[in-house]
Structure 1
Amino acid sequence: MLNLDRLRVLYAVRSHGSVSAAALALRVTTSAVSQQLAKLERETGQRLLAKSGRGVRLTDAGRLLAEHAERILSQVEVAHADLEAQRGQAVGELRVGAFATAARGLFPAALATLRGAHPQLRPTLREMEPEEALRVLARGDIDLAVVLDWYNRPLALPGGLARVTLFDDVADIALPVAHPLADRSEVDLTELADEHWVSWPPGAICHDWLMFTLRGRGIEPKIEHTAFEHHTQLALIAAGLGVAVAPRLGRTPVPDGVALVPLRGSITRRVYAVWREGSTGRPSVRAAVAALHEVSPDG
């Protein structure tokens, strides 16, 4: 009889590409992963891994079993969803991933709502970028993701996932209060062509969007400072060190020294809840989505 936990480890190695990456995703040691794989090889009587340079690769038998493991784990998830739906209650663990401002601006209230309404549900939150959240959701490492895309740059959704829109998050321009445009009722991005920008680090979805959008307006942005945390960005602006796009979700408190001016044309990013299609019937997923709707700005 094949052990389900060992199949999960094999599938993680295939999904993440290495034993160390699988161990990180599974939150265990690399030696624990190696031990589980060695036991699985003894159970199957097949060699599942082979050395490849400094790492390992799956053998033909390993790839074949990993493909079966993916289907088996998917069926286990459907069975879990069906049992939870049959019981009709949101119970057990619910693993959620969300980008930083959603983690700050939505989840304290959403998790408190879930705790009050569903005391047998144990939601856990991990902060992560949207693209990473979709990857780990598709692999089964989390159960629900809250992600975003921008009005002019949609985020591709992998197959097998379902989503619902929570709300549109409006973005303003954050300026030092002494800036000549700080008292305007609105400002256009083209008016900021010569500014020094405070941005998210390269590779972050919002940084890539900012570069794409400004270059689309004929502006080559001068990125002076980068920070993942919005409050760090606002602190830099309060010190007179640049300007930034500042979405409203999770933005407060805004420090003294920062002026927020609406952007002409209402630039927005759309916030979604995403889950695997096999989890659609889970009461815990439905309860979490309902809580997110309830605490959303449009809720």
Structure 2
Amino acid sequence: MEPVSETFTVDLRRLAVLRELRRRGSLARTAEALHLTPSAVSQQLAALSRELGVPLTEREGRGVRLTGQARVLLDHADLIAAQLERARADLAAYGEGGRGQVTIGCFSSGILGLLPGALSSLAERLPHLRVDVVEAEPPDLFTALDAGRLDIAVAVDFAATPPHTDRRHHRVDLLTDVLDLAVPAGHRLAGQPRVELRELATDPWIIGDARSCCGAVARSVCAAAGFTPDIRHAVNDWAALAALVEAGRGVALIPRLVRPLYAHRDLALLTTEGTPPSRNVFAAVRAGSEADPVLAAVREELLSAAASPAASGTRATPRT
């Protein structure tokens, strides 16, 4: 290839494709995430490579891997994206705040237990702001955030979530959502003040899909207790899960964030020995956009909602 030009320019859309390839690891998964064909992804990467005059991918078996030049470029790409978001935030702050549109991506139980209070307060604070909500979980949640289809993401920490050190995002912890152990009312352990989670190792379990945050967290909690759960029912809907527990079909871990869905059910909620299992809930925006006055207002209302009694026994993250 030709040497890198001193005046080269970069197509930011192609750069976004390269960033997604780093996240997904394959052309096929990148294409699926970006709603493109694998051929279109390859063409975008090839065009970016010609634009810069350096190789960005190389063959590895039937797939591709990033070159050293690509990794160098991606370090700069994260900084470029963050700087553009800062420019967007500065422009928003210069004009009249509180107008326009914000789209929030959030996992299902967060929509139930966290967003209603936050959105009600936000509507009083910024009555001219349109807020749209999209149900989504990682990794698609953060693909949409990075692509600009979402402005703020509310998520749970688990394997599919970007790490705290990911420079593409500015994040703030909202709350610690405690998980209660739900068993049928007639269960042998019902009424016990505290139980060891491992005492239920031989029980049938009701757990969500492994790719979802609820399913992934439940599996990791059981693994930490020293057993692999006998999953009889794979259910992602919390109301349906509680109904199955009430019917005696198994035991489950249920977050306090969705307590309104099971408060009326005839089932027993048990506390586990030691530190109760929990999941960390946080909000994230694209790095550089945290100064946007509207996004700052959304973040503040999310923190207020997380600290309110309506969060059903969760533990709010202390503000700093």
Place the TM-score, normalised by the shorter chain, in its bin. 0.7 to 0.9
1:168-187 equivalence runs, <5 A = 168-182=176-190, 184=191, 186-187=193-194
Q: 2 CA distance for matches of 1:298 and 1:133?
A: 29
Report the 3-state secondary structure (helix = DSSP H, G, I; strand = E; otherwise coil) of the residue aligned with 2:182.
Answer: strand
Number of the residue aligned with 1:145: 153
Aligned partner (choices 206, 214, 219) of residue 225 of structure 2? 214
The verdict on how the C-alpha distance between 1:277 and 1:66 changes in structure 2, with shifts beyond 3 A counting, is closer
Does the 8 A contact of 1:94 with 1:143 survive in 2?
yes
1:1-299 equivalence runs, <5 A = 1-44=9-52, 48-59=56-67, 61-87=69-95, 89-90=97-98, 94-111=102-119, 113-114=121-122, 117=126, 119-129=128-138, 132=139, 136=143, 143-148=151-156, 157-160=164-167, 162-182=170-190, 184=191, 186-189=193-196, 192=200, 194-202=202-210, 204-215=215-226, 221-254=229-262, 258-263=266-271, 267=276, 269=278, 270-296=280-306, 298=308
Q: Which runs of 5+ in 2 are unaligned?
A: 1-8, 310-320
User: What TM-score do the two structures reach when normalised by structure 1?
Assistant: 0.74
Q: 2 CA distance for matches of 1:104 and 1:16?
A: 29
2:11 partner amino acid? N
**Alignment identity in percent?**
33
The verdict on how the C-alpha distance between 1:50 and 1:92 changes in structure 2, with shifts beyond 3 A counting, is farther
RMSD: 3.8
Q: CA deviation at 1:287?
A: 1.8
Q: Which runs of 5+ in 1 are unaligned?
A: none
Q: CA deviation at 1:102?
A: 0.9
The verdict on how the C-alpha distance between 1:156 and 1:211 changes in structure 2, with shifts beyond 3 A counting, is farther
The verdict on how the C-alpha distance between 1:135 and 1:239 changes in structure 2, with shifts beyond 3 A counting, is same
Q: Which moved more, 1:235-244 or 1:56-65?
A: 56-65
Q: CA deviation at 1:176?
A: 2.0
Does the 8 A contact of 2:180 with 2:270 survive in 1?
yes
Q: 1 CA distance for matches of 2:62 and 2:20?
A: 19
The verdict on how the C-alpha distance between 1:14 and 1:297 changes in structure 2, with shifts beyond 3 A counting, is closer
User: What TM-score do the two structures reach when normalised by structure 2?
Assistant: 0.70
